[in-house]
Amino acid sequence: MKQEEKLHELQDLLVELKTVVVAYSGGVDSTFLLAVALKTLGQDNVLAVTANSETLPERELEEAKEFATSLGAHHQVIETSELAVEGFDDNLQNRCYLCRDNLFENLRPILEGEGFENIIFGLITDDMGEHRPGVVAAREHGVRGPLQEVKLYKDEIRALSQEMGLSTWNKPSYACLASRIAYEEKITIEKLEKVDKAEQCVQSFGVHQVRVRAHEQIARIEVETGDMEKVLNHNDEITRQLRELGFVYVTLDLAGYKSGSMNAALATESAK
């Protein structure tokens, strides 16, 4: 099915939902979903809600506010805390479930208080082949993922976003900062801030897409293949800055950037 046909299916699905609260991060997928919802349902039938927590960098929050304003959306920012959720900081395989469960619990009172009928979020088809316990939480709360339901993929969403004039069409993919820390390694505010600053360091040398994965004292840098030369050209400065942040060893992953790469360890464990 062509992406334009999927877009029409998405609009039909949103019409069926009538009024929606959009769990809005300001990323490529949720911005596209918000834009289509606004165009399809109208401003008064759509509410964007962004959860501000320890795992969301300040710059991402500010961008979410800017994008929502530019789209003319009604937008609320709520304060949440994943680290206050029992078991989240243990960083086990169910971490994303606990995060999403907490998010949807916080969105439910807004849904009911504002008189909206459905909560939707930016789940996409690419996500379904990965370890995504957050999807289980969504199903338990009756939260819908319209982009995935019409089988839209990331590259299609980027293309459609560009056609719609959305500035997020080529924004780097983003995930919460907790996803940078190896499973079973305790999550702390200090570690979240460390990986955030490490990624800003690498990006400052013109790198578009980056993850700095923290494995205790090791920083494993993931960038797209075309950006590896930039990292190598500035390896001395990047190493110096990341060591100042507290990493002892700084490495470049030759496999390149991959969303959810920490889950490879889970696959290895399950195969034993």
pLDDT tier for residue 270 given thresholds of 50, 70 and 90: very low
**pTM as predicted:** 0.92
pLDDT value at 234 more than 60: yes
User: In terms of Cα–Cα distance, which of 259, 34, 56, 50 is closest to 155?
Assistant: 259
pLDDT tier for residue 130 given thresholds of 50, 70 and 90: low
The pLDDT value given to residue 175 = 86
Among 127-131, 194-198, 221-225, the minimum mean pLDDT is found in 127-131
* Region 85-92 average pLDDT: 96
Q: What structural domains and CATH numbers belong to the chain?
A: 3-164 (3.40.50.620), 177-270 (3.30.70.2210)
- Per the model's pLDDT, the better-predicted residue between 159 and 1 turns out to be 159
User: In terms of Cα–Cα distance, which of 16, 3, 2, 1 is closest to 161?
Assistant: 3
Q: Rounded to 5 degrees, what are φ and ψ at 264?
A: -60, -35
pLDDT value at 271 more than 50: no
The pLDDT value given to residue 272 = 46
The pLDDT value given to residue 53 = 95
The pLDDT value given to residue 116 = 96
pLDDT tier for residue 252 given thresholds of 50, 70 and 90: very high
Catalytic residues: 176
pLDDT digits (tens, 9 = 90+) for 143-195: 999 999 999 999 999 999 999 999 999 999 988 999 999 999 999 999 999 99
In the 3-class helix/strand/coil scheme, how is 88-131 assigned residue by residue? HHHCCCCHHHHHHHHHHHHHHHHHHHHCCCEEECCCCHHHHHCC
pLDDT digits (tens, 9 = 90+) for 35-84: 999 999 999 999 999 999 999 999 999 999 999 999 999 999 999 999 99
What b/e string do you get for 178-210 counting C-beta neighbours within 10 Å, with b at 16 or more?
bbbbeeeeebeeebbebbbbbbebbbebebebb
pLDDT tier for residue 263 given thresholds of 50, 70 and 90: confident
pLDDT value at 265 more than 70: no
